[in-house]
Structures are given as C-alpha cells and as structure tokens.
Amino acid sequence: EADIYQTPRYLVIGTGKKITLECSQTMGHDKMYWYQQDPGMELHLIHYSYGVNSTEKGDLSSESTVSRIRTEHFPLTLESARPSHTSQYLCASSEQKRQGAGETQYFGPGTRLLVL
Amino acid sequence: AQRVTQPEKLLSVFKGAPVELKCNYSYSGSPELFWYVQYSRQRLQLLLRHISRESIKGFTADLNKGETSFHLKKPFAQEEDSAMYYCALYAPMDSNYQLIWGAGTKLIIKP
C-alpha cells in the first residue's frame, strides 16, 4: 500500500547524541520534505529534495543534514542533539509537476523528539 | 515577502453553527492556495485547494484576490470538524517553489 513511514515515532535522547530520523515512502514520489513543527504552531521547512542526490535547505536554519541516495528514502541526521532540537519532525512527499504548479503533499505520522 | 496569516489561533463554535476560518496571504504573483487539516492523532492531510473549486466534507474556500484572502467556510459545523487547520500558499522562496504555511487555527466544535 502506498504510504509514508517514519521511525521512530517517539525518541527521548540525551544531549550530544547523534540521531537519525528515518523516512521512507512507497508513493512513487520524486519530491520529499522535512518539516519541524512545535505543538500548535506552523510548519517550518528544514530540508527538501527533488530526487536522488538532490538536497536543499529550507527556510528554517537547522543543524541537521539529509541525504537522498534512494528515491524512497530521505533520512534526517542530527550529529549532536541539543534540547533546542526538541520538536516534532514531519516527513512529506509529493509528485513532481511543472515548476510553479503546487502539488499535494502527503505526510508521514511524524517523529516526536525530546532531547534532555 | 510571501506570507500566510491565520489571525485566530483558536476558534470555538457550537455544533450546527456556521464556521469561518480566516486566511490572508501576501504574494504579488498568481497564488495557489491550500487548506490542510490535522485531526487528533491523525496525520496532516490536504482538505482542499482553490484550483479544484470543490467542496470537501462540506467545507468551501473562495480565493478573493482583492482582499488577498482564502477563508475556509462551512455552513453547519459538526463535532467531527474539530481539528487543527492550516492555510498554505505555494510560492517561490529563493529560487524554488515551496509551501508557505500559516500558524494554524484550532477549531473546537462544542456539542
């Protein structure tokens, strides 16, 4: 079944640890995104990708990095977690359409991260 | 700069009453606008987009370019409409197009 998967769903970790948030999609989409969202607040785009070997930073400055080695996989890595990274992280994907034509984004269930 | 404003963080109405969630945007080009919804313990999902001109779950939204608004409306609210609603604008940021999100409005439908 076409879907977007995120693991782990919840993560509690100590300061300074390296973490990787996983995101995979079986939607067949080229474009993938990572958003950061604090409870009840707007979504902030932190990274996006238009396809394999394509990654871009979003409008929110982030100390995280991403990679896109396979179309379906878009992991996000924090080299050294800090309490300020505590948030919810949402992964999304969409079809590639012509430039300027908005595509529907499909979201994963999210990862709630707590850094102590 | 492109921006989406949802002036109400919280909107509470009684079941059966009309609902209007406000969204204003700032963009000099031809806008493409969306409403996304997140029900409790569910994923964020598309509710409707202005180019489709359709009604989803009884909700409609009309683009008003003169007022730069895209308000979401429903004539008779139901309890299952309680959710977080986000307005989003598809517009260029730097050299790429992306969704620019409003802060969201939490809608509570009282029985």
Residue B97 CA: distances (Å) to CA of A30, A41, A45, A106, B31 = 15, 22, 12, 17, 12
| pLDDT tens for each residue of chain A, 116 residues long | 789 999 999 999 999 999 999 999 999 999 999 999 988 788 999 999 999 999 998 877 778 999 999 999 999 999 999 999 999 999 999 987 665 567 789 999 999 999 99
pLDDT at B96: 76
Residue range A83-105, pLDDT digits in tens: 999 999 999 999 876 655 677 89
Residue A65: give the domain boundaries. 11-95+107-115
Is A49 inside any structural domain? yes
Is A101 inside any structural domain? no
Quick check: B75 pLDDT over 90?
A: yes
Closest-CA residue to B102 (of B57, B58, B38): B38
CATH of the domain at B36: 2.60.40.10
Is there a contact between A56 and B97 if contact means CB atoms under 8 Å apart? no
Residue range B19-73, pLDDT digits in tens: 999 999 999 888 899 999 999 989 999 999 887 777 889 999 989 999 999 999 9
The H-assigned helical ranges of B26-70 are none
Residue B42: give the domain boundaries. 3-106
List the single residue in A with minimal CA-CA distance to B41.
A109
Q: How many domains does chain A have?
A: 1
Closest-CA residue to A7 (of A114, A99, A91): A91
Q: How many domains does chain B have?
A: 1
Residue with tokens 């238009």: A50
Residues of chain B with C-beta less than 8 angstroms from the C-beta of A109: 43
Tell which B residues from 11 to 50 touch A, by Cβ distance under 8 Å: 32, 34, 43-46, 49
Coil/strand/helix, residue A43: strand
